[in-house]
Chains A and B, each alone.
Chain A
């Protein structure tokens, strides 16, 4: 079966996010004075062939640990959805 995985990579709490901080400082200039906690991360989509959703999620989780994220400074979440076979 084919599964689409959506990986979200974010900075660990406490890790500086200068991009997020800069955007947060820019928003009030447009009148959005009620915004805080802006964090900018990465979104990665990929399709894997796997026997089931658990196997697909486990494999993508391993990819995150080994390549897609750096656990020293980043956290990640993985969501897996089965693709309809054509």
Chain B
């Protein structure tokens, strides 16, 4: 049976079908989970995709955090279920305190739309399961608020715990310590600014994102 991925949709989410397509291309099955739903039952993994949840009003992710589905996502994560937030989804997961830190406006006030090289830093997260540390991936970024920040104490802790999942080789947005993606302490919740779903097939210019999404499908399957 195919690994079942639930893709959360808030009002203003706009990358959900890209994620569904990429998951299906990789042999998984995916369906949309509306933000008003109170359950994520029946899924092996949850992806919070990119976009502008609730219009990014107040702060990116600030309102989305209180959508009914987020209680179910939190419970799923607490049980060890793999949860991945991409771009705006990363912002939502930090606001929900499922991930450390916060995303602030890019240094230089520039919206960045580019393909960047990211280095996998460790393989103990749901998104890098089985991927050799040091692997470099070409992934697209597309954001204005992707500048990861946290206080010095948090930075020391996430480095010591191997929670830095991905680093930019050439930092495009000012993120502290070149961080492109982080996980929670257990490694089952991961957030990243690059869009692996937009680089999951050679026809898109890079298939490197498939490395991460395939790892997610494997992590989800082996947990069950």
Contact = CB atoms under 8 A, between A and B. Distances in A.
A29 B127 CA distance: 48
Contacts of A21: 109
Contacts of B104: 15-16, 73
Nearest to B95: A70
A21 B109 CA distance: 9
Nearest to A12: B151
Interface of A: 15-16, 18-19, 21-22, 67-68, 70, 72-73
A67 B105 contact: no
Nearest to A18: B109
Question: Which of A16, A19, A68 has the most chain B CB atoms closer than 10 A to its own CB?
Answer: A16
Contacts of B109: 18-19, 21-22
Nearest to A68: B58
Interface of B: 58-59, 62, 66, 94-95, 101-102, 104-109, 147, 149-151, 174
Contact of A70 (B102, B105, B106, B107): B102
Given A67-B58, A67-B62, A72 B102 contact: yes
B105 A72 contact: no
Q: Which 3 residue pairs of A and B lie closest in terms of their CB atoms, listed nearest first?
A: A18-B109, A72-B102, A73-B102
A62 to B, nearest CB: 14
Interface centre among B58, B94, B95 (most CB of A within 10 A): B58
